[in-house]
Structure 1
Amino acid sequence: MRLDPATRRIAAVVVVGALLSLLDGTMVGVGLETIARDLGAGLAGAQWVAHGYLLALAVSLPACGWLARRIGAGRLWLLALAGFTLASALCAAAPTLGLLVAARVVQGLAAGLLVPAGQTLLGQAVGPRRLGRVMAVLASAVSVGPALGPVLGGLVVEGLSWPWLFLVNLPIGAAGLVAGLRVLPRGEPRPTGTLDVVGLVLAGVGLSALVYGVTAWGAAAGHRELALPLAVGALGLGLFVRRTLRHPRPLTDLRLFADRGYAAATACATLTGAALFGSLLLFPLLFQLERGASVIVTGLWLVGHGLGTAVAAPLAGRLTDRLGGARVAVAGCAGLVATTVPFALVDLGPLSTQVLLVLRGAAIGFAAVPPTVAAYAAVRPDQLPDATTQLNALQRVGGAVGGALVATVLAATLPAGTRPAFAAAFWCLTAVSVFALAGAALLVRGRVTATGR
């Protein structure tokens, strides 16, 4: 069954928000050195322009489900995009590093709401039988973001100035708001009770501390001082789970995990996220450290990876709607393993590298779309705000863990030379991909079909 024009319009508008948040996160990293120099700050301080955004994004995620129920997913998406666009203008106008970091925190808080609110809108608009197709549209559109971000960021910094890293968001955000006001359903607000502020603090602090600790652990190859944020993150999330299971009106409904199909799908999506983000960290380092490529050239190398996903995701969505998520996810994760092993075995030439990157991108499309669809199809429409919040949070944690594992192995083995170090790192990424394949097997055991059951 083809998507009707109204659904296509909703999907097109939702893609704007997702693409903006992904592009912004990757574009700004290219300009940190320039920002530090122009604002008279050190590079270590300028790193908080990136860290503040990512941590704020993690903080706002736990509140998304409650807010979507309270005011409607459509209204939440519009408010989040408006906040993101306004914060982009504040970032561009910031005269000091402190004000820039503060504006980036506001921008990250808004960005953390855009993707789950958009997924909730799409899920409620199409129902379970066409969910694969519409989620694939979102996946294919945003898959090129991590690859295009460094290229666009480098061109902006070299040709214009760093404020334009944020100013480019303004016309896109304004166009998205105008289109959203015209085509997005606002959603029906439902009684939610009082916001569980204690639960929100525990979840926000726990999730952001854990993501920061795991990410920084990989980058620093396991510095002891990072044990504190890891411990704070684990404790905060543990207390959040305990409180949520006992609260009469919890921030998010963790009882969704009692459904075997939903639990299997979220586990698979988390493990697939680890494999995806591990590769997004490792491949740029391969091109820059071993092959001496610039940031812009590295981004161009990775465009094929994103295009492979963009082409494969719609097909994966149609197959998921027709055959169910389990078999499609197993095929995709097996493809991840098969396209990672060659990088660990030999030093590939340019043509072989590009062919494998395209194939690996296609495998990601087949691996990532089915578990997401299966998770959302396993719940009722009124439970989608909770499901999108939980899945996005778990994918963020999984991505941080995957990146940290690969980075730790690479840093520990670099003294032996770049080739042995990258071989070890790619074997680690292969192991992560094997775990993702095991997660896909959980979908088979859970007997998750096209409708999630």
Structure 2
Amino acid sequence: MTDQAAAPPGKLDAAVLKIAGVVVLGAIMSILDITVVSVALPTFQSEFGATYAQVAWTMTGYTLALATVIPLSGWAADRFGTKRLYMLALLLFTAGSVLCATAGSIEQLVAYRVLQGLGGGMLMPIGMTIMTRAAGPERIGRLMAVLGVPMLLGPIGGPILGGWLIEAASWHWVFLINLPIGVIGLIYAQLALPKDEPHKSEAFDFVGMLMLSPGLALFLYGVSSLPEEGTITATKVWTTMLIGTVLVVAFVIYSFKPKHPLLDLRLLKNRNLSVASISLFVFVIAFMGAGLLFPSYFLQVRGESTLDAGLLMAPQGIGAVLTMPIAGMLADKIPVGRTVPFAMTLIAVGFFGFTQVGTDTSYLFLCGSLFVMGLGMGGTMMPIMTSALRTLQPLEVARGSTLVNILQQIGGSIGTAIMSVILTSRLNGSPEVPGAVNPQTGETFTEADIAIANNHGANIPAPPEIIERGLQFAADSFSTTFWVGFALVLATFIPIAFLPRKRRATPPGAPGEPAVEAPILMH
């Protein structure tokens, strides 16, 4: 056994980098899966003869599974050990991927995506726990930067890889691509991760689980049903959201009673963790929700192929790759409250470009906007997560990672639902074309429906002026939706204004603060 704390501050030795490599593989798998599937939704529609609302459940089912299993991650990491739990998550995710490729109906695909989500939900919180314990609080910013660059292969490569696989092979390979990565990840994890030394088991909070996991799942189910129903007054939306909210609120009230609750909200007494968590939550609502619409604009309004839409998204990832290593090094030296506002300004400037989209907006302008946004992303997400986790004691890291991941997941789901509802309601306002009926749904096509469908070779007969009006209406709908996203981005400046702007000298082992150079033993 070697003492990793003996490494010079800010330096990452080979042993830590070897462990980081395991987490990188798992992160790439989970991120690739989200971005690859997002460009495959139109293919699922035609392949299974399903509506968009039905195929959207391939994303929603995955999200609900994540929400159910994430709260268990902190307790399970302490009880069973991070190595075997991480390998179990990899195994579930890989098995779910292979099963997805065998699906013969949209219902089967959604069911297998749920299995995938059970594994994917544990990958990120357990991975963050592993790397935070390995690096120690003084090196977490540098490690986040090292991990962040390859993790961006998901957002950059996902749409490109998904588009290429669908065009060159078939949709099945969107999921089969995870098989070789998963096998390599399992072997690598067995060899590289230190032997588990689980803590003596604390009592499992069954009461908390019966409130929190179903509560999160029901709330997110209601939120995710918004695009399909089109209004929050729909029974399926408001009833599930209300029951879910009641269960989550009941858990919050209850969670301060047991000594070891399922989700330790007492950690939020740590000001750095609470401010960083709120900042991350608002940021994810703003960016993740609108971020899924960027490729949709290229696909629907501009008529690009899935491969070309993926390539057009690449500048965003390239920008983030350039700034993330710098931001990681700065996070270990300069309080994030001084750097994150500048990065958020870049995101706002880049995002503003998409509020101006039309039917023929310059690709140079849009790719430039994505690049500027990427530069800001590289200096935002990882530094905020660093601020959230670095002040936790080693034994608090698993629970802190779980808390941060739950807030991210809820924020992403809310953001996606908000943007989808606004875009869908706008598109539904397009004038109907008399006599043009959708054979799948029996509904009358709108001008926007015909224009978007013809962009992808559907060849629905219509006069050129109808198609032109439909495309313009669709572009205006995207523009309006991006204005809402832009407003949410501006709202993010409020919580980040409270991020720490000064480095505080604290005594070793102070409550809620890291012990200076606390030794972390690794094999």
Report if the CA contact (8 A) 2:286-2:415 is conserved.
yes
Contact 2:351 2:370 in 1 (8 A): no
Asked if the contact 2:350–2:369 (Cα under 8 Å) also holds between the matched residues in 1, the reply is yes
| Contact 1:326-1:449 at 8 Å conserved across structures | no
Structure 2 counterpart of 1:266: 277
Change (3 A) 1:321 1:191: same
Work out the CA distance in 1 between the residues paired with 2:371 and 2:28. 20
Number of matched residues?
452
For 1:429, what is the secondary structure of its paired residue?
A: helix
Taking the aligned partners of 1:97 and 1:146, their CA distance within structure 2 comes to 25
Equivalent residues in 2 for 1:52-201, closer than 5 Å? 52-95=61-104, 97-201=106-210
Do the aligned residues in 2 keep the contact of 1:316 with 1:365 (CA within 8 Å)?
A: yes
Partner of 1:426: 482
Q: Which amino acid counterpart does residue 367 of structure 1 have in structure 2?
A: T
In structure 2, the CA distance between the partners of 1:161 and 1:113, relative to structure 1 (3 Å rule), is same
CA drift of 1:440 comes to 1.1
Q: Which residue of 2 aligns with 1:437?
A: 493
Single out whichever of 125-134 and 79-88 deviates more from structure 2: 79-88
Q: TM-score with structure 2 length normalisation? A: 0.80
Of 250, 267, 276, 2:287 maps to 276
Q: Match for residue 215 of structure 2?
A: 206
Higher mean displacement: 336-345 or 372-381: 336-345
Q: List per-residue Cα deviations over 1:386-435 (Å, max 9, x = no partner).
A: 11111011011112222333333334444483444333322222211112
Distance 1:143 1:236, change over 3 A: farther
Does the 8 Å CA contact 1:320/1:450 hold for their aligned counterparts?
A: no
Letter in 1 for 2:337: A
Measured in 1, the distance between the counterparts of 2:302 and 2:218 equals 34
CA drift at 1:218: 4.6
Change (3 A) 1:271 1:144: farther
Measured after TM superposition, the shift of residue 138 of structure 1 is: 2.6
RMSD between aligned residues: 2.6
Partner of 1:215: 224
* Aligned-partner Cα distance in 1 for 2:167–2:418: 33
Match of 2:251 among 237, 240, 257: 240
- Structure of higher CA gyration radius: 2
Structure 2 CA distance for aligned equivalents of residues 329 and 345 of structure 1: 26
Q: Larger deviation: 121-130 or 41-50?
A: 41-50
Shift of the 146–222 alpha-carbon distance from structure 1 to 2, 3 Å rule, reads farther
Of 20, 24, 48, 2:29 maps to 20
**Structure 1: distance between partners of 2:84 and 2:159:** 31
Which moved further from structure 2: 315-324 or 280-289?
Answer: 280-289
Give me the whole-angstrom Cα distance separating, in 2, the residues matched to 1:413 and 1:92: 34
Unaligned 5+ residue runs, structure 2?
1-9, 431-472, 507-511, 514-523
2:406 alignment partner in structure 1: 393
Q: Distance in 2 between matches of 1:212 and 1:168?
A: 28
The alpha carbon displacement at 1:126 in A equals 0.6
Query: Pairwise mapping of residues 224-235 of structure 1 onto structure 2 (< 5 A)?
Result: 224-225=233-234, 226-235=237-246
Higher helix share: 1
Does the aligned pair in 1 maintain the 2:162–2:306 contact within 8 Å?
no
For residues 264 and 88 of structure 2, the distance between their equivalents in structure 1, rounded to whole angstroms, comes to: 24
Q: Structure 1 161/450 Cα, relative in aligned 2: closer, same or farther at 3 Å?
A: farther
Partner Cα separation in structure 2 for residue 44 and residue 385 of structure 1: 36
Identity of aligned residues (%): 36
C-alpha contact (below 8 Å) 1:131/1:373 kept by paired residues? yes
Q: Is the 8 A contact 1:374 1:448 kept in 2?
A: no
TM-aligned CA deviation for residue 241 of structure 1: 1.3
TM-fit CA distance, 1:120: 0.4
